[in-house]
Amino acid sequence: MGKKKIIKQTAEEVLKEKETQEATAKKVKEIKGKKVEIANVHILSSYNNTVITLTRLTGEVVAQESAGAIGFKGPKKATPFAATRVIDSLLDKVQKLGLREINIFVKGVGSGRDSAIRALAAKGLNILSIRDVTPIAHNGCKPRKPRRV
């Protein structure tokens, strides 16, 4: 075992780190500090996970939560139970914002789609619209002719 190198930060590096941390903290406070009465909820439900994002009407992300971030692992992340837990956790994060009305955008084919919508309705939020934005393949352009030799 040789000697261990100890890396010391200079005063300039410490100040730069503090400035970047303060800047990011200010951004988070600015976004979360304002009242959000009407918002968009984007539900991405895949075979592997459920991700729910709360945005303003302009598209700014206010909060985001996923089944994997809560602590579900493996195939349990894509279950309807996990989707309801994700909604509960997300709404606990943003309860201070005064959220009352939401537009829901659902994308994906997973099993957490319907249970997420039901959980939002059960929380007492007024649902203005539900829209399915799942991309649908149209088989693309016409393929090239096969090469003749």
Q: Is residue 27 part of a domain?
A: no
Q: Is residue 25 part of a domain?
A: no
130-142: average pLDDT: 90
Distance CA 97, CA 123 (A): 15
pTM for this structure?
A: 0.72
**b (16+ CB within 10 A) / e for 19-54:** eeeeeeeeeeeeeeeeebeebbbbbbbeeebbbbbb
Express each pLDDT in 3-53 by its tens digit: 666 667 677 777 777 777 676 555 545 555 678 889 999 999 999 999 999
Q: Is residue 16 part of a domain?
A: no
Question: What range defines the domain where residue 124 resides?
Answer: 35-132
Q: Which of 14-18, 65-69, 108-112, 121-125 has the lowest average pLDDT?
A: 14-18
Q: Is residue 83 part of a domain?
A: yes
Distance CA 58, CA 40 (A): 9
Q: Is residue 23 part of a domain?
A: no
Structure tokens at 101: 């009305």
Tally of domains within the chain: 1
Q: Is residue 143 part of a domain?
A: no
pLDDT for 20 equals 72
Q: Is residue 75 part of a domain?
A: yes
Distance CA 19, CA 88 (A): 34
Task: Read off the CATH number of the domain in which 123 is found.
Answer: 3.30.420.80
Q: What is the mean pLDDT of the chain?
A: 86
98-103: average pLDDT: 92
Q: Which of 18-32, 59-73, 89-103, 125-139 has the lowest average pLDDT?
A: 18-32
